Amino acid sequence: MSQVNILSKVAVVTGAGSGIGRAVAVELAEAGWSVALAGRRAEPLAETARLAGAGALPVPADVARPAEVDALFAAVRDRFGRLDLLFNNAGGFGPRVPVEELAYEDWQAVVDTNLTGAFLCAQAAFRMMRAQDPRGGRIINNGSVSAHAPRPHSIAYTATKHAVTGLTKSLSLDGRAYGIACGQIDIGNAATDMTERMSTGALQADGRIAAEPVMDVADVARTVRHMASLPLEANVQFATVMATTMPYIGRG
């Protein structure tokens, strides 16, 4: 694929086929970014590309597979010539079962996508941002309020999201010498397919099933856009955006 001459900044959004990833990709495109869209399923990526417009580049890729991550960032380099932003968003919750019932394969699948996939994409972005001219860029990791407090039956998801916080901090430190900023957005109850059950009833820490409030996913997208729009001399290290009255702060 031949390189094109662009004036806009360039972003990679993983998990771009639906939910938060799609909303962020479209928001960035509307703000003038050229956006590479990564996800495992080609058809949803094509729909996101349609919504994002002509500057979007859909690249089917499983972030847990190193060769596919390498191919993703090679495609970005070939098409755009540089990278200004990685939104590390791809992830999955896994089965909602008690810890003693969680199969090893299900644990590993969550770790592979949420943690290893985030690392592989961050590593590829880091290499590209360090080598390009002008040097530098920004990485924003999707943490989750589960990076701070777990839900019942969420050990794999919660463990990986705590680990993403360590990834964010290490990238922030290691990126200083190269003009690479790294921040994290912790999201609570954005209205997507993944959180659809919240409005009908979710298991609470005391064993009750209770409906929870959700917020518009567009509010998440606007927050990411703000974080991405800052000059590299400034960084939102951690941001939490959540449904105002969800049972997270205090005791519900």
- Let me know if 7 is exposed, middle or buried by CB neighbors in 10 A (0-12, 13-18, 19+): exposed
Paired residues of 187 in beta bridges: 241
Tell me the H-state helices in 84-183. 104-111, 117-131, 155-175
Cβ neighbors of 82 (< 8 A, separation 6 or more) are 10, 128, 132
Between strands 34-39 and 56-60, the pairing is parallel
DSSP code string of 179-211: TEEEEEEEEE-BSSGGGGGGGT-EE-TTS-EE-
Between strands 180-188 and 85-88, the pairing is unpaired
Catalytic-residue membership of 178: no
Prior bond of 134 cis (ω within 30°) = yes
Give the C-alpha separation, 186 to 144, whole Å. 4
Contact by Cβ (8 Å): 114, 157: yes
Catalytically active residues, by annotation: 157
